[in-house]
Amino acid sequence: MKLLVHLIIIFLLTVLTQVGGVIWIITWILSSKFKKKKRFIFPILYLICNLLIVPPIAKQFGREQLPVFDKKLKPRNFIYPLLFRNYVNPKLKTELEDSAHVLFKSKISITYLDANFPFINGFPLLPHLSHSDGKKIDLCFMYLDKNLKSTNKKPSVSGYGIYANSESNFTSKPCLEKGYWQYDFSKYLSLGKIHDLTFDKKKTKQLINQLLEKPSTGKIFIEPHLKKSLGLIEENKIRFHGCQAVRHDDHIHLQIK
């Protein structure tokens, strides 16, 4: 029974963080050898790996960690870096940093969500279908506060699950009717709504246009109704992701070539 519990913990940590399962195994060995309790060893070892060990090793595998405390390019919250979900291809990191530098002059900060794990192409970053090669990342929209002033705040804790102009979305219903039950599943991943904000069309469009200017940009996924309302209908790099994915009127999906 005890072994089964350990195996379940290893499985869950591996699914959530990729390397957490290995850290738990090392913790298990160390706690058995030195007779120390896992609740003391694991968080210390986990943080050491997160901050000092994994980033330089990941570089050798072609992945780099995105900034955590940069005002121009930052995670929605510490969940993403803590779960090792903020690693990207060096080319994508450069594109994001360059775009963030330009946009910050307009008081726009790029806020990222899930990117990729630090190692192994093809290793799934659930619940995403394609975040497995270091070339994909999800970014937050821009919003207006209750006074209709631009803000870098986001409506939900996770950055997912609060849909923009959802009353105009004519894609979600047909996808759900076809049996793609997962299409609006992200509404269960918001972790709670914390700000009552309005979708900022002007600055979201500015953000997307800046990303489109980069030659390395391959595709951007947003809902068709947003592509239309933002006046980006002629942009070929902006695509519909298909019913097999989840809806994209709560975030931008960016991928490079």
**Is the separation of the CB atoms in 62 and 90 below 8 Å?**
yes
Q: What is the tens place of the pLDDT at every residue in 170-223?
A: 788 899 999 999 999 999 999 999 999 999 999 999 999 999 999 999 999 999
pLDDT of residue 38: 66
In sequence order, the 6+-apart residues with CB closer than 8 A to the CB of 53 are: none
Interatomic CA distance for residues 252 and 102, integer angstroms: 18
Q: What residue type is 109 in one-letter code?
A: S
pLDDT of residue 253: 98
- Give domain 68-256's CATH number out of 3.40.50.720, 3.30.1380.10, 3.90.1110.10, 3.90.1150.10: 3.30.1380.10
pLDDT of residue 228: 93
Q: pTM, whole model, 2 decimals?
A: 0.93
Q: What is the tens place of the pLDDT at every residue in 16-30?
A: 999 999 999 999 888
Report the chain's terminal Cα–Cα distance, integer Å. Answer: 47
**Average pLDDT over every residue of 30-58:** 88
pLDDT of residue 36: 63
Reference 136, options 125, 150, 147, 145; nearest CA is 125
In sequence order, the 6+-apart residues with CB closer than 8 A to the CB of 214 are: 95, 98, 99, 256
Question: Could you identify the residue written with the tokens 């105009």?
Answer: 168
Q: Where are the domains of the chain?
A: 2-60, 68-256
pLDDT of residue 3: 85
**Is the separation of the CB atoms in 111 and 77 below 8 Å?**
no
Backbone angles phi, psi at 81, to 5 degrees: -65, -35
Which pLDDT band, with edges at 50, 70 and 90, does 35 fall under? low
**Average pLDDT over every residue of 80-100:** 98
**Average pLDDT over every residue of 141-147:** 96
Which pLDDT band, with edges at 50, 70 and 90, does 2 fall under? confident
Of the chain, the percentage scoring pLDDT greater than 70 comes to 98
Distances (CA, A) of 175 to 124, 133, 216, 233: 23, 27, 30, 21
Reference 49, options 69, 78, 19, 76; nearest CA is 19
**Average pLDDT over every residue of 244-251:** 94
